Amino acid sequence: MDVHQNARLTPRCRELLVTRVLAGRCRRTVARELGVSEKTVQKWVGRFQREGITGLRDRSSRPRRSPAVTAEALQLAVVALRRQRFTLASIASQLLLSRSSVARICRRAGLSRLSQLDPVPHYPRYERAQPGSCCTWT
């Protein structure tokens, strides 16, 4: 867990908060002592009562679902057009997507720059037994 130095309630402090409230102290007093709002005290006590000690841990702020995800077929179409060297703006206008969505899809596929589309150039290496042996001078 990464707690910043000015954090009001670490998991240990949340446990202290809950024990004080469950011992019979007033929520307003406990909130004032710990420098948080009464609503915060109520939230942590409620979580403790529902989930026990595990409810006092930090939770992820990542959304559980993302309803506005671009459809898989559209993502494949974006990648296909980008491999044909279309610009991000032209792909966006053809597929009726925003340019930022097209850019995000291309970045995720590793195609955000045109230089990433070109294959790595192969330079054949020629080795000779002696310098100048490839040419005959008369």
Token pair for 119: 């294959």
pLDDT of residue 126: 75
Domain ranges of the chain: 11-56, 72-115
pLDDT of residue 22: 93
pLDDT of residue 138: 47
pLDDT of residue 59: 84
| 35 torsion bin: left (phi>0), alpha (psi -120 to 50), beta (else) | left
3-state secondary structure of 11: helix
pTM: 0.49
pLDDT of residue 119: 74
Token pair for 26: 């007033």
Tens place of pLDDT per residue across the chain (138 aa): 566 666 778 888 899 999 999 999 999 999 999 999 999 999 999 999 999 999 988 888 888 887 888 889 999 999 999 998 899 999 999 999 999 999 999 999 999 888 888 776 788 877 777 776 665 554
